[in-house]
Structure 1
Amino acid sequence: MKTIVDATNVLNQGLAAIRTEFQVDASFPPEVLAAAQQAAARVPSAHADRTASPFVTLDPATSTDLDQAFCIEPSGHDLLLHYAIADVGWFVDDGGLIDVEAWRRGETLYLPDGKANLYPPVLSERAASLLPDGPRPAIVLTVRVDPGGAGRLDGVERAIIRSRAKLAYDTVRPSDLPASFAELARRVQAAEAQRGAARVDPPEQEVTARPDGRFELAFRPRLSSEADNAALSLVANLAVADMLQAHGTGLFRVMAEPEEKAVQRLRISAKGLGVAWPDAMSLEDFERALVPDDPRQAALMLAIRRAGPGASYAPWRAGAKPWHAAMAATYAHATAPLRRLADRYVLRAVLEIANGRPVPAVAAQAFEALPAVMDRADSIAGRIERAVIDLAEAVLLSGKEGSLFRAVVTEADERGGKVQLCDYPVVARLSAKGLTPGAVIDMRLAAVDQLRRTLTFERAEAAAA
């Protein structure tokens, strides 16, 4: 982790420039805000009363757009996960002002100094958010998780819930959580390993604001509380996907297997980094054995993530089985409707199916149109994230021109390659011939352009691995 000293306020100016460049609109048109204000006053009338159930939420401490709350109870050898998802659809009229604006945005966009919400804050951070300050409408997915970690939907209903606590990843204690929380997460994670899933989360390169107004650039490994909480979303999304697939409808998250050439390049990287990868071990098993606390293994985890083809959305098609290679399963997004447009329609479909009703035509039509909308939104979010990191790296290394840096080559092509600096959380591009993935090299920082968010490195003498 490195603190960014930004005496001339370049970072804040750069973030403002990124917002302009990518047309990040944190505000909403007055008519949309007015419609949201009216929608927030709606009193639910089609919801069961589940306020007696001990739901809690678990999120980053500063989050106010809370999509999920949960409680867990035993049922013989199974565990019942009651997973309450914010009922955004209760507040949003099809074709109305809020709906049209959400289709324009696609998803919430995040920057270190704020975000651009998918829905107006009066909904996404108040009336529809599962905060512990009063009853909230939700769609409750009841997922039965067997001892082997497989889940299926036992029921879906609209319900009023009341969260008992807003728990945070970095401060939560086991005693704050339902008694079976850790066991449920263990079951789901064991099932992942059993089916050969490769959902391994490398440390994230991120920029965060500090209370003193400065920023930090860091590789942040996922906390165990985050991983366990993600298991709840995972088993719910898998169960939703199974129900949609069985009924011949839905929208799925799909991803292809990495190409064999990419796997061979990764084996070379592992050898260069000094990380043992037995010939007989698959990429999936190898990934699960890596630990983010080791800098070389963390660099390799990032290389594996970049080697994949990326995920996209696809509607159900007769005769085709949607597949997510990293999950090793059929998978759907349903558990973050405050932040992703597609989830609202997936929830709507599964609510009807589970209760013996046909999927509304508006949802079926949305499944055909959503892939283009969501892929565009995902692309913009990814480009913004990379631009923010490029900016932070430029500010962090400004004034160090002429200095030598040791780095590991993580990717190489005919034009050069990508390198991971050994002493800074920085991933950079190096234009140089003869780079070999896994090689440890020395580079000289030739130039920093904070306005263009670029670092220019030159190859120095070769370094011993």
Structure 2
Amino acid sequence: MALAAHGPGVGDFASLRAEFALPESFPPQVLAEAEVVAGDLVPCPGPREDATDLPLVTVDPPGAKDLDQAMCLTRRGRRGYRIDYGIADLGAFVVPGGALDTEARRRGQTLYLPDGNVGLHPAILAEQAASLLPGVVRPAVLWTIDIDAGGEPVAVRVRRAWVRSQEQLDHDTVAVGLWRGTAHPSVAALPEVGRLRRERAAGRGAVEPQVPESRVRAEPEGGWALVRRPQHDVEEWNAEISLLTGMVAAQLMIDAGVGVLRTVPEAGDEAVDWLRRSARALGVPWPDSAGVSEVLAGLDPDDPASLALHAGTVRLLRGAGYTAFDGAVPESVGHAGIGSPYAHVTAPIRRLVDRFATEVCLAVAADEPVPDWVHRTLPELPRLMGVSDTLASRVERACLDQVGAWVLAERVGTTFDGVVLRSGGFGAVAEVYVEHPPVLARCADVTVPEGSTITVRLTEVDVVNRRVCFEQAGT
């Protein structure tokens, strides 16, 4: 049973919003423009295919309204699979240089807080006119990707289309349908495609740390609980469709010599050697011929030693950012976490860069010039998204820390079970993962190595500064 926080002052994120200067609403001119374009699409160059008969469905968390993606997977006999993937077409609504465009550039992405989102676009677009809601016709960018029986792409088409999602599904309903054999036909092949693509990830050398993630849950009686975010097979398989689309989009842009990629540089030999030494100290087998991805793929992330190694692997994925190019392709265009060049094109309702990368792909696929307004903006996107990513990361961390402090505020002196993820040496301050509630926190006087299970005592909770501190119990 999750620990929950209730009482005066609990659940109010207003001070956090003020601290980060998060906007409370959109400027009047932005709302006015959104009202107009929601009922009158901005003319787009070229034809728009009628794909309203394609049986697309969305798969999102329960209650989601900003639906970016809709899919239909079909088997191609022994030849593999076809993936039809409709992405919300924000280019059909946002006028380049207009009020919506200007505000979206300022915000960068949607920020998610427990008590409400700070949207990239007004709700009339994000949750209504642009959202791929079921049963209504919507403009979309339709990707059709054929993969072979081994899961590798062999053909790609991308164009503007009209689509109509048949049904709004969530991860749990898809999982139940797959188990019962009653899943919607458009997602019946999702396990096969998802598993194929997961296998390809290991083969590409993708570095994917399985670090426990926490999420904030609203309690029915009020207040908040901090719970571990479950590892959901359907969610992972769904993510593989998005990742595949991002990879083929990146290749389109690289081949054309223009675009913007999500990049993470390969870790240097020194960082990999450090991880090998950590594995040796933790007792995790690492054959000489095995790469990082192979070792991680074979670990149980719930095992304490494996958990510590996964946490350390994050050090191999430093330097994430965006790389824009217009002419010469940079030497380094890969994403070490994915093991391939990759671009963000599948969440334009929630992320600024996707709209611009999508316009590049549409132009390249149609053998047409990339629009001038896209060319002009490409150099700005890495900075705009970098600022936005930093803010989003800080806000997410602050929300988790705040709820963790609320939940633990009345439990100073209580002992908890945890795992040492990082240790500075005998008796030093360490980073410990406590499972119930799932928090990452500083722990003093640690006398055991990384990967050890440990009993810790809560020594301090500072609700105002969102800080909790532990010490090793029994020292």
Question: Do the aligned partners of 1:153 and 1:239 also contact (CA within 8 Å) in 2?
Answer: no
Instruction: State how 1:318-357 maps to structure 2 within 5 Å.
Output: 318=329, 320-357=331-368
| Deviation of the 1:140 alpha carbon | 0.5
Task: Say which SS state the counterpart of residue 418 (structure 1) adopts.
Answer: strand
Show the counterpart of 1:286. Answer: 295
Instruction: State how 1:72-91 maps to structure 2 within 5 Å.
Output: 72-75=73-76, 77-91=79-93
| Deviation of the 1:235 alpha carbon | 1.0
| Deviation of the 1:128 alpha carbon | 0.3
Show the counterpart of 2:450. Answer: 437
Q: Which amino acid aligns with 1:163?
A: S
Distance 1:16 1:302, change over 3 A: farther
Question: Do the aligned partners of 2:80 and 2:151 also contact (CA within 8 Å) in 1?
Answer: no
| Deviation of the 1:32 alpha carbon | 0.7
| Deviation of the 1:411 alpha carbon | 1.6
Show the counterpart of 2:433. Answer: 420
Q: Which amino acid aligns with 1:6?
A: H
User: Is 1:392 the equivalent of 2:393?
Assistant: no
Distance 1:305 1:263, change over 3 A: same
Query: Following the alignment from structure 1 to structure 2, what is the Cα–Cα distance between the partners of residues 166 and 5?
Result: 32
Task: Say which SS state the counterpart of residue 285 (structure 1) adopts.
Answer: helix
Which residue of the other structure, out of 378, 381, 386, is the alignment partner of 2:389? Answer: 378
Distance 1:395 1:303, change over 3 A: farther
| Deviation of the 1:271 alpha carbon | 5.9
Q: Which amino acid aligns with 1:429?
A: R
Show the counterpart of 2:117. Answer: 115
Distance 1:267 1:436, change over 3 A: farther
Query: Following the alignment from structure 1 to structure 2, what is the Cα–Cα distance between the partners of residues 393 and 272?
Result: 31
Query: Following the alignment from structure 2 to structure 1, what is the Cα–Cα distance between the partners of residues 64 and 24?
Result: 16
Query: Following the alignment from structure 1 to structure 2, what is the Cα–Cα distance between the partners of residues 125 and 295?
Result: 41
Tell me whether 21-30 or 193-202 shows the greater mean CA deviation: 193-202
Show the counterpart of 1:156. Answer: 158
Question: Do the aligned partners of 1:129 and 1:136 also contact (CA within 8 Å) in 2?
Answer: yes
Which residue of the other structure, out of 442, 451, 456, is the alignment partner of 2:464? Answer: 451
Distance 1:94 1:211, change over 3 A: same
Q: Which amino acid aligns with 2:213?
A: E
Task: Say which SS state the counterpart of residue 2 (structure 1) adopts.
Answer: coil
Instruction: State how 1:42-81 maps to structure 2 within 5 Å.
Output: 42-43=40-41, 46-75=47-76, 77-81=79-83
Query: Following the alignment from structure 2 to structure 1, what is the Cα–Cα distance between the partners of residues 417 and 269?
Result: 29
Structure-2-length-normalised TM-score? 0.89
> After superposition, what is the alpha-carbon deviation per residue over 1:287-310, rounded to whole angstroms, capped at 9, x for unaligned?
112334556644543443355315
Query: Following the alignment from structure 1 to structure 2, what is the Cα–Cα distance between the partners of residues 122 and 423?
Result: 39
Question: Do the aligned partners of 2:305 and 2:451 also contact (CA within 8 Å) in 1?
Answer: no
Distance 1:286 1:426, change over 3 A: same
User: Is 1:93 the equivalent of 2:95?
Assistant: yes
Structure-1-length-normalised TM-score? 0.91
Distance 1:90 1:5, change over 3 A: same
Query: Following the alignment from structure 1 to structure 2, what is the Cα–Cα distance between the partners of residues 290 and 16?
Result: 41
Tell me whether 136-145 or 257-266 shows the greater mean CA deviation: 257-266
Question: Do the aligned partners of 1:253 and 1:313 also contact (CA within 8 Å) in 2?
Answer: yes
Question: Do the aligned partners of 2:212 and 2:228 also contact (CA within 8 Å) in 1?
Answer: yes
User: Is 1:189 the equivalent of 2:207?
Assistant: no
| Deviation of the 1:311 alpha carbon | 2.0
Question: Do the aligned partners of 2:42 and 2:94 also contact (CA within 8 Å) in 1?
Answer: no
| Deviation of the 1:456 alpha carbon | 2.7
Query: Following the alignment from structure 2 to structure 1, what is the Cα–Cα distance between the partners of residues 311 and 228?
Result: 10
Question: Do the aligned partners of 1:148 and 1:190 also contact (CA within 8 Å) in 2?
Answer: no
Gaps of 5+ in 1: none
Q: Which amino acid aligns with 2:258?
A: T
Tell me whether 89-98 or 449-458 shows the greater mean CA deviation: 449-458
Query: Following the alignment from structure 1 to structure 2, what is the Cα–Cα distance between the partners of residues 291 and 144?
Result: 32
Tell me whether 390-399 or 207-216 shows the greater mean CA deviation: 207-216
Gaps of 5+ in 2: none
Q: Which amino acid aligns with 1:331?
A: Y
| Deviation of the 1:183 alpha carbon | 2.4
| Deviation of the 1:397 alpha carbon | 1.5
Distance 1:121 1:306, change over 3 A: farther
Distance 1:212 1:109, change over 3 A: same
Task: Say which SS state the counterpart of residue 132 (structure 1) adopts.
Answer: coil
Q: Which amino acid aligns with 1:374?
A: M
Show the counterpart of 2:137. Answer: 135
